[in-house]
Amino acid sequence: MAQNYLDELNPIQKEAVLQTDGPVMVIAGPGSGKTRVLTYRLAHMIHQGIKPWQILSLTFTNKAAREMTERIGQVVSGDARKIWSGTFHSVFAKILRVEATKIGFPTTFSIYDTEDSKSLITEIIKELSLNPKEYNANTVRGRISNAKSNLITPVMYEKDQTLFEQDRMNKMPATGNIYKKYVSKCLQAGAMDFDDLLLQLYRLFQENKDEVLEKYRRIFQYLMVDEFQDTNYLQYAILKKLALYPGSQRNICIVGDDAQSIYSFRGATINNILDFQQDFPDVKIFKLEQNYRSTDHIVQAANDVITYNAKQIKKEIWTEKKEGHKIKLLKSSSDNEEGRKVADFVTELKNRYHLKNSDICILYRTNAQSRIFEEQLRRVNISYKVFGGLSFYQRKEVKDLLAYLRLVSNPKDNEAFKRIINYPKRGIGDSTLEKLQEISVSQQLSLVESIPAFVGSGRASQNLVNFRLMILQMQEMAAKNNAYDAALYIYKSSGISQELKQDMTQEGISRVENVTALLDGIKEFTENDEVSGDVEPDKSLSTYLQSIALVSELDSDTENREYLTLMSVHSAKGLEFDAVIVGGLEENLFPSYMSMNSPEQLDEERRLFYVAITRARQFLALSYATSRYFFGNLRMNEPSRFIDEIDQSRYEIDKTSRGMVFNILDDAITPKSRYVERKPAEISRHPLLANFKPSEALQIQTGMKVLHQKFGEGKVLQVEGSSDNRIATIFFSEVDNPQRKIVLKFAKLQILN
């Protein structure tokens, strides 16, 4: 093989590739050519005479492992596929298929997926006569998974007072007992779950040191681990079994970036990479600091931000690319306006800079935020695709609640009926539904209307009657109230609220956030007091459903079209785009409210922001709204502290333009000390908003100064109409499109003079 592949590397990359022996740590900054270094290092090892089957190369996705093998094959011929390459789970499963009998499992053991595990846990909860409403199977599964990832056995779990107290506070004190029975039943069934593929391998090595562990130590002479910052305690413990022992050559190379450690919620621990040098004191460290992806303003912004983290491996990312475009900053008065501005900026990127949809990505902290961006992108007819999750209106929990709203609004909606008749579960089986369907067809009635004619006995029949009574009560409520009050009542009285809140896993919390986002959208619909002409807005549930009907339709085929990318920051790791827009940069949203009382979690939020901004090649835009609905209440927001942490010189300042250009207004950037003593995000710039009290609509007259929760202080220019139909034209100086027409009956305005 020719040596010219080394000429493609910069000096520090070349050093990392040539250092094949002993412990090596490669700190790979964003866009620094990490994959090339990994590939060429493996190729160089084979070229130096190391046998491919003596190399264990671990990654976090099968896709990454396949790509690595293919790229090595382009540099060296033939033997690349003999490398032990794959994910932790796939490689360890391969070993367990050979050795499982030594720890009491058959070599043909089954591998339980998440649904299998949840099903078994549900069975155990029933066997133990525990309340399934208190013992949510998914939450219990998460507790067991976390225990396994930290090498905590059932015996250790039951003896751990801290774990017991946590379970007791979560009203699940029997979790340790469930864990013990779960492990026993898995062994009895000859099955392992995903966590067992790691835990049982560790056990295999621990209990068979002389035979099995020594065998694999002899096979794996060289270890290389990608994305090491994402490893958990158990994964590193296994690696140390293979590489750290008396007489070992300690040929282990880890590659990663502590500044991109963002998966603690999955069990990853940043301490593995931060403390690696303590375990391997003679480690040779190579820092890949040259960024080949982004322009200088973006690179320096990333450096600015990450310096605020206390625990880190110091590095200074740099680039030879020109300064490029400065960072755009968008300030909006509401999340709805944020969506409009982002969509308009996307249009500008396409028209002014000739970017394609596929060159642009919108990132957000939580998947629930996609709703507002999806709606506004549709407004300007921009094709998009949501990654790392379904489009907002296609998410199960959103469709479930919408089905209830549809059935209440239109009792003849049989598709909505079929979706929700047994959600949450109410003991109505398929045979009951088939009989009801027959009545519906023969009497030409809707399914709800057919219930009184249903002749049956027992619980199923009574449950049908109870369901119809519940829907009738919901209809009565909806007829007397606006869309939001009706939707909130339906959400709670249907049982969906209680059902969703039982699951306290990350996925469960995300589902609650999605439903909350839907309810907040309905709240904004009902409180939108602006008018077009003299038309008074209708705030009913049926009108709301009509307003989202087109938005919630299934996306047309995007596979054959060019689309913009929407995704959470967690999903964007490893990707890059010409233009990146980061939305929702507000305190308690990004950084998340769950991180506010933990310096470690706040540091992780900052690393997440670091990942977000380093996805951008040429254009970076940061966006925040000064108000947004949160659990039905209008919350006034402060800009995220992360905006402050970027040097002002990185931002583009343009106070004269509106709409499509991002601005820094006078209060957008404040001294860095602002976030040291931070008050709750509800406190706004206007002092009276903390104790806001709306005045009577009939008292508002031309010439008055008034305060609006969303638009701030304004002056009433004109009042037209009489009694309930009075419409005011008000000038709000602090927002885009400052002149607004508002129906006073719906407006919440406080008179200031």
Report DSSP letters for 44-55, one per residue.
Answer: HHHHTT--GGGE
State how far the alpha carbon of 568 is from the alpha carbons of 366, 390, 672, 700, in Å.
Answer: 6, 12, 27, 44
Give the start-end residues of each E strand in 601-704: 616-625, 627-630, 633-636
Catalytic residue among 99, 195, 196, 227: 227
- Which two structure tokens, joined as six digits, stand for 430? 């398929």
The conformation of residue 363, written as its DSSP 8-state character, comes to E
Active site residue 374: no
Spell out the SS3 assignment of 648-661.
HHHECCCCCCCCCC
Catalytic residue among 13, 34, 565, 606: 34
The conformation of residue 358, written as its DSSP 8-state character, comes to G
Active site residue 226: yes
The conformation of residue 620, written as its DSSP 8-state character, comes to E
Active site residue 347: no
- Report which secondary-structure segment, H or E, holds 193: strand 191-193
658 contacts 341 by C-beta, under 8 angstroms? no
Active site residue 21: no
Active site residue 718: no
How do 360-364 and 564-568 pair as beta strands? parallel
Catalytic residue among 39, 260, 432, 614: 260
Active site residue 701: no
ω into residue 537 within 30 of 0, thus cis?
A: no
- Which two structure tokens, joined as six digits, stand for 479? 């007829």
- Which two structure tokens, joined as six digits, stand for 395? 């998410």
Distance CA 681, CA 187 (A): 50
Q: How many CB atoms lie within 10 A of CB 35?
A: 16
Distance CA 525, CA 254 (A): 52
Print burial letters for 48-73: b (CB count within 10 Å at least 16), e (below 16): eebebebbbbbbbeeebbeebbebbe
Catalytic residue among 193, 196, 226, 503: 226
Report DSSP letters for 469-510, one per residue.
Answer: HHHHHHHHHHHHS-HHHHHHHHHHHTSHHHHHHT--SHHHHH
State how far the alpha carbon of 708 is from the alpha carbons of 104, 695, 698, 740, 750, in Å.
Answer: 69, 11, 16, 12, 7
Distance CA 649, CA 320 (A): 19
Catalytic residue among 615, 617, 726, 740: 615
Angle, CA of 714, 719 and 724, to the nearest 5°: 110
Distance CA 438, CA 171 (A): 44
Spell out the SS3 assignment of 69-121.
HHHHHHHCCCHHHHCEEEEHHHHHHHHHHHHHHHHCCCCCCEEECHHHHHHHH
165, 168, 173, 176: CA torsion to nearest 10: -30
DSSP, collapsed to helix, strand or coil, labels residue 752 as coil
Q: How many CB atoms lie within 10 A of CB 578?
A: 16
Residues with a known catalytic role? 34-35, 226-227, 260, 615
